[in-house]
Amino acid sequence: MGRRCSNREEKGGSPEGRRSEGKDQGEGRRSENQEKKKTYPATLETFCPLRLFRSSRLRPTAVVTPTTRLRSDQAMEKNHPLLILYATETGNALDAAERVGREAERRGCPVLILSMDEFDPSSLPCEKFVIFVVSTTGQGDTPNSMKAFWTFLLQRSLSQQWLEKTRYAVFGLGDSGYQKYNFVAKKLDKRLADLGGIPITERGLGDDQHPSGYEGALDPWMSSLWTMLYNENPHFFPKGLDISVSDIKTLHPPKVDITYLDSHEVYSQSSAEIDLKSFEKEIVKSRSMMTGKRSSDKSKPDCFLKMVKNHPISRPGCGKDVRHFEFEALSSTISYEVGDVVEILPGQFPEAIDAFIKRCNLNPDSYITVKHRNKDDFLEDGVTNGPINLKRFIELSMDIASASPRRYFFEVMSFFASAQHEKERLEYFVSPEGRDDLYQYNQKERRTVLEVLEDFPSVNMPFEWLVQLIPPLKTRAFSISSSVLVHPNQVHLTVSIVSWTTPFKRKRTGLCSNWLASLDPNQRVCIPAWFHKGSLPAPEPSLPLILVGPGTGCAPFRGFVEERALMESKLGPTSPILFFFGCRNEQNDFLYKDFWGLHSQKDRVLSEEKGGGFYVAFSRDQPQKVYVQHKMREQSVKVWDLLSKGAAVYVAGSSNNMPVDVLAAFEEIVAEESGVSREAAVRWLRMLEKGGKYHVEAWA
């Protein structure tokens, strides 16, 4: 699809775009909060020169004797926070990390939870115990927040004894429906062991296919983890090892403080008067308040877009709704390359916002400031520390009608339920016995926050808890299907309008795709957008290409083809393009049929005369299904001819079976046409990938 969505598309609020976590297969820049590091007691066991520049609150080291060393180690293990590092793309690994942290705190163990891009990897040997919770995204990819951390761990200068004093545990989130199931957790576990790290317990692998989702593996893994830590030193858990939800009688205060101001105390503009600069400030302010992270240049949209075309390109009533969208920049000039990605912050439908505000007894006209506790350096820049209208805050930062709430949401709800039967049901949901039923009720049905609140009408949660627990509204990422050289100051998208039916026959729709489909190009709706690189690098005109893009996987290749056609018209002949496209029916979903036909004419960039070609697999137009890999095998001579001439391969589309089937077809073609064994063909294609000439962009 032209939408860059991985494993769950928009279901459950994962981005309609770039990698999801499968619920985490399943989920880098370094954070602005990186300076805010953990402080350490002055013991030899924890003192680390690498950390000195990180905190001015470190106390001077004292003279340590063997006796004081023993006492100090015991005090450290009793009071030193247990470090939990997570890497996530859509939030599931963060949710799991926070669950691990809460369970540790209930046993009396203080914790420190950090994203991997908030932690200095060079100080890892200073940690005696570290818990890692990581997701696998797309086709075995590392989450963005983990990339710098992982690159550091791969340094050859790190010895096999680098982590010999560090005990660690790894929990991964993935989906066994993918070939590289939990690949990130597995490779992290192996690398930590290679560097001398000692595992506390066996790694845990959460599986989205489990009846209880990843929690089916998380619960027994945590039980083993707590037992191993307690057996090593009971000081870890002053409150004991066995704590159940029913034992919890009080609720810790929320992590955020909200200050309310009356509307007359704040100068405000009407929505009609809000200009782009004011809109930008609202976005930065609301989203910084929601996450508790200070704003950065990346918090600001690169530009604001206006839709100028909303055109269906699949036949109405065929069971699929695929749109071609065109946008123009309202603010700064658009700049991108073919193969790049645009992220869009979707609008939430006004009916849902109003229903949420009414259900939670909120005043839409009030102004608020949100302060995250224990973040002393938060919001000091003057842009994000001012008040914002409550309704605008919800619209821009809280996903109330798309994402499903997390398990902890139900636990907190139980404290605010005034009806006994609702309280009992909520307590059952968060108990070990009710885990499977909660998964069926919540995740499988993709119930939204608003729906859950409406199902438990006696619950009256303070807004502080709602801000803390409701998933943040995320941008959705899409493959760009145009060339800015051909369409100056425009960006085009090819979007499948997402809808599906739950196991209990509830109709669900994707937030961003349906919002875009609802927009009228004649209305001036400002769409915040961010541009960045994707997995498909822009090719040079002299590079032969083999493209495989069934369905909306053709989106980025539309940009490739139109840009190469422009180059050829201005600079002369370019290298050939061989393109394999696939769809169900020629009459229903042959996307951009006229466009491909035009560029396949004699001596054009997709023509056979130039050594390329355009070949279509219609999977449902005959009794036996035909897919792109079948068309590839039919053209095996041409495929091998281009490969032997240095062609680059680009594959885009569904992540279910297509990438694996296409790779198998390439392996077969290379083996047969070059006369080598299948094993040799596999090694040859791996070298092609390592050499930057085999690229895959896949989503579910």
- Binding residue per annotation — 208? yes
**DSSP-derived pairing of the beta strands 204-207 and 167-174:** parallel
- Binding residue per annotation — 505? no
- Binding residue per annotation — 14? no
Phi and psi dihedrals of 60, rounded to 5?
Answer: -65, 145
- Nearest Cα neighbor of 437 from 410, 419, 400, 461 is 410
Kindly state the DSSP code that residue 117 receives in the 8-state scheme: G
| Separation between Cα atoms, residue 466 and residue 256, nearest integer Å | 10
- Binding residue per annotation — 92? yes
Q: Is 543 helix (H, G, I), strand (E, B) or coil?
A: coil
- Binding residue per annotation — 511? yes
- Binding residue per annotation — 43? no
- Binding residue per annotation — 56? no
- Binding residue per annotation — 123? no
**Chain position carrying tokens 């979707």:** 346
- Binding residue per annotation — 93? yes
Distant-in-sequence, close-in-space partners of 694: CB < 8 Å, separation ≥ 6: 648, 649, 651, 685, 688
- Contact by Cβ (8 Å): 215, 181: no
Q: Is 312 helix (H, G, I), strand (E, B) or coil?
A: strand
- Contact by Cβ (8 Å): 233, 79: no
Query: Cα-atom radius of gyration of the chain, to the nearest Å?
Result: 27
- Contact by Cβ (8 Å): 472, 14: no
Tokens linked to 393:
């805050």
- Binding residue per annotation — 629? yes
- Binding residue per annotation — 140? no
- Contact by Cβ (8 Å): 4, 479: yes
- Binding residue per annotation — 513? yes
- Binding residue per annotation — 137? yes
Q: For the residues of 492-539, what is the DSSP string, one character each?
A: EEEEE--EEE-TT--EEE-HHHHHHHH--TTS---EEEEEE--SSPPP
- Binding residue per annotation — 383? no
Residue 211 amino acid letter = P
| Separation between Cα atoms, residue 659 and residue 654, nearest integer Å | 8
Q: Is 630 helix (H, G, I), strand (E, B) or coil?
A: helix
- Binding residue per annotation — 88? yes
- Binding residue per annotation — 138? yes
C-alpha to C-alpha distances, 420 to 250, 424, 427, 458, 527, nearest whole angstrom: 17, 6, 10, 9, 45
Phi and psi dihedrals of 408, rounded to 5?
Answer: -65, -25
- Contact by Cβ (8 Å): 340, 532: yes
Kindly state the DSSP code that residue 557 receives in the 8-state scheme: H
- Binding residue per annotation — 477? yes
- Contact by Cβ (8 Å): 118, 85: no
- Binding residue per annotation — 446? yes
- Binding residue per annotation — 512? yes
| Separation between Cα atoms, residue 516 and residue 527, nearest integer Å | 10
- Binding residue per annotation — 287? no
- Binding residue per annotation — 221? no
- Binding residue per annotation — 136? yes
- Contact by Cβ (8 Å): 2, 114: no
Tokens linked to 611:
């050594």
- Nearest Cα neighbor of 23 from 15, 31, 32, 33 is 15
Give the sheet arrangement for strand 303-312, strand by strand.
476-479, 341-344, 527-532, 303-312, 322-329, 490-496
Distant-in-sequence, close-in-space partners of 130: CB < 8 Å, separation ≥ 6: 83, 84, 85, 124, 166, 167, 168, 169
- Binding residue per annotation — 402? no
- Nearest Cα neighbor of 485 from 568, 425, 423 is 568
- Binding residue per annotation — 310? no
**Chain position carrying tokens 């950065």:** 296
Phi and psi dihedrals of 540, rounded to 5?
Answer: -75, 150
- Binding residue per annotation — 333? no
| Separation between Cα atoms, residue 189 and residue 666, nearest integer Å | 32
| Separation between Cα atoms, residue 627 and residue 287, nearest integer Å | 43
Binding site residue list: 88-93, 135-138, 208, 446, 476-479, 510-513, 552, 619-620, 625-629, 661, 699
Binding site residue list for NADP(+): 552, 619-620, 625-629, 661
Binding site residue list for FMN: 88-93, 135-138, 208
Binding site residue list for FAD: 446, 476-479, 510-513, 699
